[in-house]
Homo-oligomer: A and B are copies of this chain.
Amino acid sequence: MSHAPLRFGLIGTGRIGQVHAASIAADPDAELAWIADPFVDGARTVAAAYGGTATDSSDELFASGEVDAILVASPTATHVDLIAQAVDAGIPVLCEKPIDLDIARVDALRAKVAAAGVPVALGFNRRFDPAFAAARARVAAGEIGALEQLTIISRDPSAPPSAYVAVSGGIFRDMTIHDVDMARFFLPEIVEVSAVGTTTFDPGAREHGDFDTAVTTLRAASGAVVTIINSRHSAVGYDQRLEAFGGTGMLQVANAPSSLVSLSTAAAVEAKPPYEQFFLERYAVAYAAELREFIKLARGEASTSPTFEDGRAALVLADAAQRAATERVVVAVDLG
């Protein structure tokens, strides 16, 4: 099965775009062919580090005829148009989450994507984390019997700047969206959403009517219940845990230890350094695995890449959580 490396067109060279550029450069089945960013210096820096042609125009990238796959890492507002453009061009696309903050725009694109048959994958990187993937595989293998409760704790190290909060779409669409996708990774059929959001510490959240603290509960068609516990900050560092509770056992995913060294003194024993890393470090392996799986998808091979429909479902659930938290209601959802 000898393939030429897949030639990638990368759109967007911010923090996450740089991660993807490095993954593409490191993968023997991929190469970085074109890099587009209106802030062309960003594109040029990436090209200098990892190869490829830099441009300030994604249209030029599409027109080059030299890309076999598109990776969209530009601002959220551009995602829908870029996916549409890739689909029209017949080029497989891996797009960062979310598809859009407006479900109407997502739904307007839905039929086109479904009809075109061009692979569209969504960047839910956590599905590719070895620990979460192993937990899910072991649940599927029946190690804990029927899955009854899924608990996800997901806390960022610190709240984003107020300016970011203003355009983020709110904690549910910006942060919880990852966790509802993780919920669907284990339990795809969610039928009901409840949520509580409060503002306990972040002036930015308060200023923009957002929450900094949230608990979301999802009811699955099977009767299983998912609990998602979010905070925009965590003094102990990036906090990413999961517990799958089943009829015959329980699988727990712990935080990655920041060090193998623990200290015991007369003041405290077995103390470890805090979890210092953030998602780029925590999920470094996951980003590479995500890319490899997308390469399979782009080549028409069997692939577990999350799809456009997964991206839409996550937004539907995030919207429902937002409504549940603000209107104090329980929201039935239909992801079909």
Contact = CB atoms under 8 A, between A and B. Distances in A.
Contacts of A214: 225
Contacts of A246: 235
A31 to B, nearest CB: 17
B148 A201 contact: yes
A273 B265 contact: no
Given A196-B194, A200-B148, A259 B213 contact: no
A208 interface: no
Closest 10 A/B residue pairs (Cβ)? A271-B271, A249-B265, A268-B271, A131-B260, A198-B223, A236-B264, A328-B330, A200-B223, A250-B264, A148-B200
Contacts of A250: 234-236, 263-265
B146 A261 contact: no
A231 B145 CA distance: 15
A1 interface: no
Contact of A260 (B200, B255, B272): B255
A99 to B, nearest CB: 27
A22 to B, nearest CB: 13
Interface in A116-152: 130-131, 134-135, 138, 143-146, 148-149, 151
B224 A200 contact: yes
24 contacts: A134-B261, A144-B265, A149-B213, A151-B153, A155-B245, A194-B217, A198-B223, A198-B224, A198-B225, A200-B223, A214-B225, A215-B225, A233-B247, A235-B266, A236-B266, A248-B265, A249-B264, A249-B265, A252-B264, A253-B260, A268-B273, A269-B271, A271-B272, A330-B330
Interface in A153-202: 153, 155, 192, 194, 196, 198-201
Contacts of A249: 235-236, 263-266
Interface in A200-235: 200-201, 213-215, 217, 219, 222-225, 227, 229, 231, 233-235
Contact of A198 (B219, B245, B272): B219
B145 A235 contact: yes
Given A252-B262, A329-B330, A201 B247 contact: yes
Interface size class of A (residues with CB under 8 A): 35 or more
A261 B253 CA distance: 4
A263 to B, nearest CB: 6
B268 A229 contact: no
Given A267-B274, A268-B273, 11 more contacts: A144-B235, A146-B201, A148-B200, A148-B201, A192-B196, A200-B223, A213-B225, A235-B247, A268-B271, A270-B271, A330-B330
Contacts of A273: 268-269
A50 interface: no
Contacts of A213: 148-149, 223-225
B274 A264 contact: yes
A191 to B, nearest CB: 11
A254 interface: yes
A253 B146 CA distance: 27
